[in-house]
Amino acid sequence: METVRNATRVLVVDDEESQRTALAGMIALWGYIVETASDGQDALEKQESFCAHVIVTDLMMPRMDGNELLRRLRTQGQAPPAIVQTAFGNLETSISIIHDLGAFWFLEKPVQSQALKLLLERASNQGRLAEHAERLERQLSNRGELGEMVGGSASMQEVFAMIQQVAPSRASVLITGESGKELVARAIHELSPRRSAPFVAINCAAMPDTLMESELFGHEKGAFTGAVERRAGCFELAQNGTVLLDEIGDMPAATQAKLLRVLEDGRVRRLGAKSETQLDVRILASTNAPLDQAMRDGKFREDLFYRLNVFPIHLPPLRDRKDDLAVIVPAMIEDLNRKHSTKITDATPEIMERLRAYNWPGNVRELRNVLERAIILAGEGTLHPQHLPPGFGSPAGAAPVVSHSENELRIPVGHTIEQAERALIELTLEHTKHNKTRAAEILGISQKTLFNKLKEYGSQTAGA
């Protein structure tokens, strides 16, 4: 018997005692630890303490059938790979079992032992890998890492703890902060039972209003000019997985109403379609600017806000957690070494002091840009102050100091055109209270150009 099997737990669920006993005995002979349950309700109760890596379940059972069992397990965040036995051996039913129930695979009755043995091996590998991944994520978070996020400060440890608490559930999460919001969303997805299904992110700020509904909900051929073929929207593409609606505050009002219906009914209708599609998708949303003002201005629906804000997570900016630089910088150096095939070992204390003294208006993205430039210049060994951008950390090299009156913007001589442009954009956004549409009008540029500029500069107004 293989060692890996000796540690793998299998829960057999069947209302027929003879079938249940026979299956359990056969699986035990293959070296697995086996527990049995007489129906779905019994299985739920035993899974609490048994924590099976794989479930082998009948589909049709009294009290609670296999369909409801798998749905409950997903809801509770305790859904190991499931092999479903069915007497209905047709393709449509089989596809439904895998797609709708989220099962690992199906077996037609009477079960063939070799087929079950092979499926158990594959399913148990997946179940144990998922368990190992979650355990590893918890260990990493205790060292100041979670997914691609790094931070040992109390504020980041609190964020990591909240991610781990909410990930196994189905709750909607509203992520706020200046940078790193998609990393939070991806961590939630990777720690959830949906990790093997798609993660689809859509940026509401970077998309024209006319394309928003088609991207979200999909469309039928001929639904509008240019719709030359049927296309699934991001909700359908993420079936059984997770959708991130980034910069949700920029979503048009009409689309907000349709999104609210999706959240309430769990169904989506493609543009031009006559029927609706049932969804099983978890929705996460993020925003750079608080939605309070948008709701007061009537630009964001309160009912949608409360639907999305079930579990809020705020990601603190780098300037409020500079102690994290001690763990972020080595992690970034390691990552950038892989990217550029460089051999940087560390950074001098003087560099670390300068990094701590800087206020990081562009957040973690700006830090990465500074380090990437330094690493490319140095190539190998230790990073020294001369590898930093000219004037970095000194008054002349800091972000432009802008003074202004009602009709005047003043930028000291010695700043680049890029710095001046960035200062003007940020001042205009401040004037419009971060209304990007109005700011773009004042600046004489499109909203897409404004978004791209903010993304390019890594400005705190750009989001993540």
Q: Do domains 143-316 and 319-387 have the same CATH topology?
A: no
**Whether this model's pTM surpasses 0.85:** no
Average pLDDT over residues 417-434: 77
Give domain limits for the chain.
3-135, 143-316, 319-387, 403-457
- What CA–CA distance (Å, rounded) separates 138 from 151? 14
Residues present in the chain in total: 464
pLDDT at 5: 43
Average pLDDT over residues 226-230: 73
Residue 380 has pLDDT above 70, yes or no: yes
| Contact status, residue 270 vs residue 223, Cβ threshold 8 Å | yes
DSSP 8-state class, residue 99: H
Average pLDDT over residues 419-430: 78
Q: What architecture does CATH give domain 319-387?
A: Orthogonal Bundle (1.10)
The CATH superfamily of 143-316 is P-loop containing nucleotide triphosphate hydrolases (3.40.50.300)
Of 120-129, 151-160, 427-436, the least confident: 120-129
- Residue with the bigger pLDDT between 423 and 237: it is 237
- What CA–CA distance (Å, rounded) separates 310 from 297? 22
- The CATH fold assigned to 3-135 is Rossmann fold (3.40.50)
Residue 113 has pLDDT above 80, yes or no: yes
Of 34-38, 174-178, 191-195, 408-412, the least confident: 408-412
Q: Is 328 helix (H, G, I), strand (E, B) or coil?
A: helix
pLDDT at 463: 38
Residue 395 has pLDDT above 50, yes or no: no
Average pLDDT over residues 327-331: 91
The CATH superfamily of 403-457 is Homeodomain-like (1.10.10.60)
Q: Which residues pair with 13 in a beta bridge?
A: 37, 57
The pLDDT-based confidence of 352 (bands split at 50, 70, 90) is very high
Radius of gyration of the chain (CA): 26
- What CA–CA distance (Å, rounded) separates 376 from 374? 6
In one-letter notation, the amino acid at residue 377 is: L
